A and B are shown apart, each in its own frame.
Chain A
Amino acid sequence: MKNLVILGAGTSGTMMANHLVKKLPKKDWKISIVDQCETHYYQPGFLFLPFDIYTSKQVKKNGKKFIPKAVEYINEKIERIVPEENNVQLANGKELSYDILIIATGTDIAPEEVEGMKGPKWHKNIFDFYTYKGAKALRNKLREWEGGKLVVHITEMPIKCPVAPLEFAFLADSYFKNKGMRDKVDITFVTPLGGAFTKPRATTALHHLLEEKGISEVTDFAIERVDYKNNKIIDYADTEVEYDLLVTVPTNMGDSVIERSGLGDDLNFVPTNKATLQSLDHENIFAIGDATNLPASKAGSVAHFEAEILTENIVRYTKGIPLKDEFDGHANCFVETGNGKALLIDFNYTHEPVEGTFPFPGVGPLQLLKESHTNHMGKMAFRWIYWNMLIKGVHIPFVSATMSEKGKHFEEEVQ
């Protein structure tokens, strides 16, 4: 009997457990999955929680429900991975030996990386919305906030879901309009990038939306510290931005177990082959989702596409067949733009998001890089798809793991 161990039961780990239980012969392979947290969070919902669009109940469920019965579910903290001995040490002193290890430990916020961020004002007038706790605290704050300067801020790249901060700004615009207090709120979007997004075509489209909604932009802002006493953020070039309410996306880092095990880069992400998902340092260790250092978006959709290719590669690895080097960095993200509309972007390592239709070329029904109500309905429907199909490893029809170039307007692409 051989052992396959999955570390992390978030989006990626849960999908892998569901895929592999169907693919690996039960008489030969025992699959285990380890997570310290009993709750599985629907992380895309953290964007909606602060605005009372989702309730706290809608974004969390018991994680065990989504793990197949044939997979051993271990609810324990991971102390260390010891690749030389092919085993994983758990916090309760137990050890798990593995023949194949899949690292799916994700990414977390590290507000302590910036001076003054996680100080006395943390979750008072400085908030994150990338954690359940942060999103919920922010919801309570927004319910009673009387207005002023709202600053939506990105600390440094890479971050999970690079469009989420923009969506937050758009939804904030709608939220305050609906509350009849938009005139009392000044919204500024502050980013270390040269523009609203990481890809030029989408940046142009999103910039227009920011303008349209009266949201100002501060770009190329590399934060040095938060002056929480005087309510301002200051960057290395001494640019200052004042806030009354700071909603920041702190530095994103991989799990500390990666650091303890000496398996990560500067940000604790696992150096991973970007086409096969095998770790660069150990042939029997694979990585998926936010835990990797791939130059792709850290997003559930990316993890979903990776999972299909990684499953194939794990099966190949067990049979001694060369791995498929097929992952192309495919990402597919809805971008909420407020007022019941959204746009959709579909891109990969080499192709930036462009206009077009999805998933059926020339038909849609979803419009790429254009605001529409249908796109918004797509995003809302996605919560159901997530809980009922995606993490259970059920194939989502018409959406392939590698990006399709059909129905897209690449000819106008700018270099």
Chain B
Amino acid sequence: MEKIISNKTISVNEEGYLTDFSQWDKEIGLEIAKEQDIEMTDKHWEVIDYIHDKFEKEEPLSIRGIKKSGVIDIKEFYQLFPGGPLKKATMIAGIPKPKSCI
């Protein structure tokens, strides 16, 4: 389905995740964060950069990976993105919801 966010049309799935990462930019990230009641700080963006880096390298995201990221510890990650930090952070980052699906 399509959604208009900061005057741009983007495609999202039914849960609100972008289906085409090339449509993502920082403003869109900011708006999605607002919808999730998250006010983005530099630390938040650092985490988003880390997520984008993993996404480009096609490396799976996990809570364990966050612990070893050197960017943030898990406790802080939960404070920045309360209630399902990986799900929220990936939605803001414009990438698919991580599958811990095996």
Interface size on B, residues (CB 8 A): 18
Kindly identify which residue among B13, B65, B78, B102 contacts A157, using a CB–CB cutoff of 8 Å.
Answer: B102
CB pair B74–A236 under 8 Å, yes or no, is: yes
Q: Which of B36-87 contact A (CB under 8 A)?
A: 62-65, 68, 74-75, 77-78, 82-84, 87
Q: Which residues of A contact B87 (CB under 8 A)?
A: 194
Closest A residue to B68 using CB positions: A266
Interface size on A, residues (CB 8 A): 21
**How far, in angstroms, from A157 to B86 measured CA to CA in the complex?**
14
Closest B residue to A352 using CB positions: B101
Q: What 1/0 mask marks residues of chain A from 142 to 153 whose CB sits below 8 Å from any chain B CB?
A: 000000000000
Q: Which of A266-283 contact B (CB under 8 A)?
A: 266-267
CB pair A192–B78 under 8 Å, yes or no, is: no
| Stretch touching chain B among A10-18, A256-264, A292-300 | A292-300
Main secondary structure of the interface of A (DSSP, over half): loop
CB pair A237–B102 under 8 Å, yes or no, is: no
Query: Contacts A220-B84, A236-B78, A237-B83 given: A267-B64 contact, CB under 8 Å?
Result: yes
CB pair A295–B102 under 8 Å, yes or no, is: yes
Closest B residue to A159 using CB positions: B102
Closest A residue to B86 using CB positions: A222
**How far, in angstroms, from A194 to B64 measured CA to CA in the complex?**
17
Q: Which of A233-251 contact B (CB under 8 A)?
A: 236-237
Q: Does B100 contact A (CB under 8 A)?
A: yes
Can you name 10 A-B residue pairings with CB atoms under 8 Å? Answer: A156-B64, A157-B62, A194-B84, A198-B102, A236-B74, A236-B77, A267-B64, A295-B101, A295-B102, A415-B13
Which residues of B are interface residues toward A (Cβ below 8 A)? Answer: 13, 62-65, 68, 74-75, 77-78, 82-84, 87, 99-102
